[in-house]
Amino acid sequence: MEKKRDSLYASTLARGLQILRAFDESHVALSLTDLVARTGLEKSAVQRMAHTLHVEGMLERDPKSRLYRPSHAWLELAYAYYWSDPVIARALPKLIEFSRARGETVNLAQMSGDHIIYSLRLPNQRTHFAASIVGRRLPALNTASGRVMLATRSDAEIEAACATWPLVQGTEKTVMDRAEIARSIKAARTDGYCITRDQMLLNEISLAAPVRGNEGHAHGAVQVSISGITFDERQVLEQFLPHVLDTAAGILG
């Protein structure tokens, strides 16, 4: 539509991507009209894009209901991503080791703009579905992983992030005070870890340590989710912090 004065910009392709992005956790199967509503594209455009994506194997379609759904190709893209990111290959064996040794859920989170994204997850207990699958994005400032990664950046960047990056109220106890978050990040810088509680899920304690490259800044974060019912924060630090720090340090060390 009215995107950019960019002669290299192929708007048809962009429209097709809009269709793909219309699917998310609360939109798992969409009809043509759903897609029209969600993308704001013309009915005809949606028809052509969806059809093309179907022919190309990017969308499955139920002949009965005529609803479009993501196809397995979406997992193949994740597979390609995994191979492309060198941090993943280094992190995975360490996370497996941790998971085996401690029997707790351990994740690799990475920065993705002003969000974190979970790129590896080794769930060890039944929890919410969203907390067990890869690809979930959360506002960086609201998460231990995000803060501990941010803590490896410059003061200016931290300040800008604290001032402008989005916050989402995950629970009634989610910290929404930017000054307090800034303090948490400063603490994370000196401590080398960040611990939070009840931020995105009640009774969930989250402990994260940065995966640092040579240059010092974070390429990711190793994060564990611990039940706040069976442990308090002090116990989590005592029992898990050394191993988490070790695991994180070992990845690019």
Partner DNA sequence: ATGGCAGTTATCATTATTTGATATTGCCGA
Partner DNA sequence: TCGGCAATATCAAATAATGATAACTGCCAT
AA letter at 30: L
> Least CB distance from residue 2 to DNA, whole Å?
7
Residues 6+ apart with CB under 8 A from 233: 195, 197, 205
> Least CB distance from residue 148 to a second copy, whole Å?
18
Helices 178-191, 155-164: axis angle to 10 degrees equals: 150
Q: Which two tokens stand for residue 107?
A: 């994740």
Using the rule CB under 8 A, is 17 a contact of a second copy?
A: yes
Phi–psi pair at 90, nearest 5 degrees: -75, -35
Using the rule CB under 8 A, is 70 a contact of a second copy?
A: yes
Rounded Cα gap, residues 154 and 171, in angstroms = 30
Using the rule CB under 7 A, is 43 a contact of DNA?
A: yes
Site string for DNA, 62-101 (x = CB under 7 A): --xxxx----------------------------------
Using the rule CB under 8 A, is 39 a contact of a second copy?
A: no
**Coil vs helix vs strand at 205:** strand
> Least CB distance from residue 179 to a second copy, whole Å?
29
Using the rule CB under 8 A, is 190 a contact of a second copy?
A: no
**DSSP classification of residue 150:** H
Burial string for 80-117 (b: 16+ CB within 10 Å, else e) reads eeeeebebbebbbebbeebbeebebbbbbbbbeebbbb
Considering the complex, state which of residue 61 and residue 217 has its C-beta at the smaller distance from DNA.
Answer: 61
Give the interface with a second copy as residue ranges (CB under 8 A).
Answer: 4, 6, 8-10, 12-17, 20, 23-26, 28-29, 47-49, 51-53, 55-56, 58, 69-72, 74-85, 88-89, 92-93, 96-97, 99-100, 103, 110, 112, 117, 119, 122-126, 129, 132-137
User: Which residue ranges make up the site for DNA (CB under 7 A)?
Assistant: 1-2, 7-13, 15, 31-33, 41-45, 47-48, 64-67
